[in-house]
C-alpha cells in the first residue's frame, strides 16, 4: 500500500515540476493517469493553440459563479485534448459502465488529472476568484472516492470538482466540499448544464 502511494506521489510531483510558462503559455507535460488507480500513465503536452482555447474560457469572469462555470468548461476541454492524445476519449463516467473498455479511469485517475489541469490553469493566472486545493477523499459505507478541489478566495469555501461521474469531455460536477463529503446530490446552482 505504501509503495503504491509513494508511486502516485512521485507521478504527481514529476508532473508539477514539469510546469513552466513560456511567452505567456504553459509548456506543461501532464502525466495522464488511466486504467484504474494510475496503473497506466502517459506524458502528454498541449499545444499553444489548445492553451489559447483554454485561456479564452476565462475572459471575462465577473464573479465566483462565472469562474466556476469557466473551470467546468476548461476541465471538459482539457479532458477532450487528453483523451485524443492518450486513447482515453471513450472513458465512461463511473467505474462499472465502462469497465470492459480499454483506458478507462476511476476516481483516482480522474481526480489526479483534474488536479493537474486546475494547477496549470492557476499557474497561468487564469483564476481570479479561486485557488486550487489538495485532492480530498471521502469514505461512505466503506467506499472511498477522490476529487480535485478549488477554494473561493474571498470566503475560503472549498468545492469539489468531480469529473468521475461524467464521460470524457463532459463538464465535471462542482459541489460544496462538505456536501460532497456526505454524498449529497449535485445542485443546479453550480451545475446548470
Q: What average pLDDT does this structure show over 165-178?
A: 97
Is residue 14's pLDDT more than 50? no
Residue 19, helix vs strand vs coil:
coil
Is residue 59's pLDDT more than 80? yes
Q: Which of 13-27, 30-44, 51-65, 78-92 has the lowest mean pLDDT?
A: 13-27
Q: So what's the pLDDT on residue 60?
A: 86
Q: So what's the pLDDT on residue 13?
A: 45
Is residue 36's pLDDT more than 50? yes
Largest CA distance in the chain: 49
Q: What average pLDDT does this structure show over 107-130?
A: 96
Q: So what's the pLDDT on residue 102?
A: 81
Q: So what's the pLDDT on residue 4?
A: 52
Q: What average pLDDT does this structure show over 39-66?
A: 93
pTM for this entry:
0.86
Q: What average pLDDT does this structure show over 89-109?
A: 84
Q: So what's the pLDDT on residue 142?
A: 77
Cell 515540476 -> residue:
17
Contact 171, 161 (CB under 8 A): no
Dump pLDDT digits (tens) for 125-157.
Answer: 999 999 999 999 998 787 889 999 999 999 999
For the residues of 127-144, what is the DSSP string, one character each? -SSEEEEEEEEEEETTEE
Would you kindly state where each structural domain of the chain is located, as residue ranges?
2-181
Report how far residue 12's alpha carbon sits from residue 4's, in angstroms, rounded to the nearest whole number: 12
Amino acid at each position: 500500500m505504501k509503495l503504491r502511494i509513494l508511486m502516485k506521489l512521485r507521478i504527481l510531483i514529476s508532473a508539477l515540476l514539469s510546469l513552466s510558462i513560456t511567452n505567456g503559455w504553459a509548456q506543461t507535460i501532464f502525466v495522464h493517469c488511466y486504467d484504474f488507480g494510475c496503473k497506466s500513465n502517459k506524458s502528454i503536452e498541449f499545444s499553444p493553440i489548445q492553451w489559447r482555447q483554454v485561456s479564452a474560457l476565462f475572459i471575462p469572469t465577473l464573479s465566483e459563479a462565472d469562474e466556476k462555470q469557466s473551470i467546468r468548461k476548461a476541465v471538459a476541454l482539457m479532458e477532450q485534448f487528453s483523451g485524443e492524445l492518450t486513447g482515453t476519449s471513450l472513458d465512461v463516467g463511473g467505474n462499472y459502465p465502462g469497465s470492459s473498455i480499454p483506458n478507462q479511469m476511476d476516481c483516482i485517475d480522474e481526480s489526479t488529472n483534474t488536479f493537474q489541469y486546475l494547477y496549470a490553469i492557476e499557474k497561468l493566472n487564469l483564476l481570479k476568484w479561486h485557488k486550487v486545493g489538495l485532492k480530498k477523499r471521502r469514505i461512505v459505507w466503506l467506499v472511498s472516492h477522490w476529487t480535485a478541489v478549488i477554494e473561493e478566495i474571498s470566503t475560503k469555501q472549498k468545492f469539489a470538482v468531480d469529473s468521475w461521474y461524467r464521460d470524457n469531455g463532459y463538464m465535471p460536477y462542482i459541489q460544496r466540499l462538505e456536501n460532497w463529503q456526505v454524498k449529497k446530490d449535485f445542485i443546479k446552482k453550480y451545475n446548470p448544464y
